[in-house]
Each structure stands twice: as structure tokens, then as C-alpha cells.
Amino acid sequence: MKILVVGANGQIGKHLVQSIQASGSHTARAMLRKQEQEADFKELGAETYIADLEGEIDEITQAADDVDAVVFTAGSGPKTGKDKTIMVDLDGAVKTIEAAKQAGVKRFVMISSFDTTRRAIQNAPDSFAPYVIAKHYADEHLRNAGLDYTMIHPGTLTNDAGTGKVHTGTAVDAADVPREDIANVILESLKNDASIGKEFKVIGGQTPIQDSLQQL
């Protein structure tokens, strides 16, 4: 598989490109905003493509040329300006979805937020609500886009080393999960067609990632 990683320079994105390259049988194309970000990815043997998520859809469509899957793991994060929240987390995600459609790439993995439901919007503190709203509408767009999607709702992300074990499900209480494990959940999801059309939460747990995805 060749996998376009949108947000490759983010923390999950870096782990993901590493895992893809380490797999031996798959290749990552890292979509990056700036040329100076390329070196690390080239060193891993990954392809790189410079494109701006805030630019035209066509730029992203070109980045997705000839790949088998697209992963959206870009994020302005809840702490950037709210203008970036709507431009990246909502509009950047929707443009990536549309670009995948235009490029004829059916397989799409979205890294969402832990809870993007209407209830989560209402319960979010004012400072966090705009981010939840942005992810809510991006997720809605993906569900209706006609793609073979998998939507991953990670718990509280940490920089701890991955354990290779997680707990997944739809009714799961929030808890920590290492970014490295999320990256491996993405790759395993792409390798397992049973994850198509599914969305699930992921927190740290006791079940090997592959088994956990079988149980979805």
C-alpha cells in the first residue's frame, strides 16, 4: 500500500510514517507544508509532497495521486488560534476528503477527537468548544462522503512509548493513550478491511492492537 499521510509532520504523523516504513511492505507519502521538513522523512525512505492544507483542493488532490489510502492526522490542536481551528481542523479535513474523492482514492482514515457528538459540543468549556465543533463537522462530512472510511477517536494523547496494546470500542471512558499506539492503530486499520465504515474510541489497554481491531 502507498499511504498519503496528511499532517505527517505532526506528532502522530511522524510515528505513522515511521511505522509504515518499518513495515517493509508499505510506503508513506508525507504531505508537508515546508521544504525544510522533508529531510527526516526522506531519511526514512518515505516519499514527500509539499502542499498547503489551507490552499486549493487541487494541491491535495495532486498529493493523493496514485496512493491507495489517505490518512488525515493534521491538526491545529486545541491551543492554536481559533481561525486555524476552522481553517485546518474543519476546512482542511473537508478539502482532504474531497481531494481523496477527486483522486479516486476510496480508503480514508480520519484521526478525530475523542468525542465529537452534539452532546460533547454542549458540554465542552468555551475554550475547547470551537475545536469540538470543527471536528464534529469534519466527521459528519466524512460519514457522508461515500468513502471507505475508518474514524479513530483517540483518548488523551501522550508521548509515552507505545505498548502495542489498546482498548477500543464505542462506549469507552476517556483515558490516556500513547500517540505511538494510535499510529499503529491507523496502520493496522488500513491492513484490516473489517475497520471500513467503522468509528471507534481508543485508549490505553491490554489487548494487542490487531486483536482489538478484530473485535470491533
The CB-of-151 to a second copy minimum distance in angstroms stands at 18
Q: Which is nearer to a second copy, 129 or 172 (CB)?
A: 129
Q: Exposed e or buried b for every residue in 161-193, given b needs 16+ CB within 10 A?
A: ebbeebbbeeebeeeebbbbbbbbbbbbbbebe
**193: nearest Cα among 21, 95, 68:** 68
Q: Which is nearer to a second copy, 141 or 191 (CB)?
A: 141
Q: Which is nearer to a second copy, 133 or 151 (CB)?
A: 133
Site for a second copy in 65-84 (CB under 8 A): 81-83
Q: What DSSP state is assigned to residue 87?
A: I
Of how many residues is the chain composed?
A: 216
Site for a second copy in 22-51 (CB under 8 A): none
User: Which residues touch 156 (CB under 8 Å, ≥6 apart)?
Assistant: 114, 174, 175, 176, 177
The CB-of-130 to a second copy minimum distance in angstroms stands at 5
Site for a second copy in 82-141 (CB under 8 A): 82-83, 85-87, 90-91, 118, 121-122, 126-127, 129-130, 133-134, 137
Do 2 and 68 touch, CB atoms closer than 8 A?
A: yes
User: Is 131 one of the catalytic residues?
Assistant: yes
Q: Which is nearer to a second copy, 52 or 176 (CB)?
A: 52
The CB-of-99 to a second copy minimum distance in angstroms stands at 12
> Under rule CB under 8 A, how many of the chain's residues touch a second copy?
21
Residue of 22, 45, 56, 77 that binds a second copy (CB under 8 A): 56
SS3 111: strand
The CB-of-122 to a second copy minimum distance in angstroms stands at 6
Q: Which is nearer to a second copy, 56 or 66 (CB)?
A: 56
The CB-of-30 to a second copy minimum distance in angstroms stands at 24
Grid cell of 160 as nine digits:
509515552
Do 186 and 192 touch, CB atoms closer than 8 A?
A: no
Look at the block and give the residue holding cell 476510496: 106
Grid cell of 174 as nine digits:
476517556
Site for a second copy in 131-190 (CB under 8 A): 133-134, 137
User: Which residues touch 81 (CB under 8 Å, ≥6 apart)?
Assistant: none
Positions annotated as catalytic residues are 131
Which residues of this chain interact with a second copy, rule CB under 8 A?
Answer: 55-57, 81-83, 85-87, 90-91, 118, 121-122, 126-127, 129-130, 133-134, 137
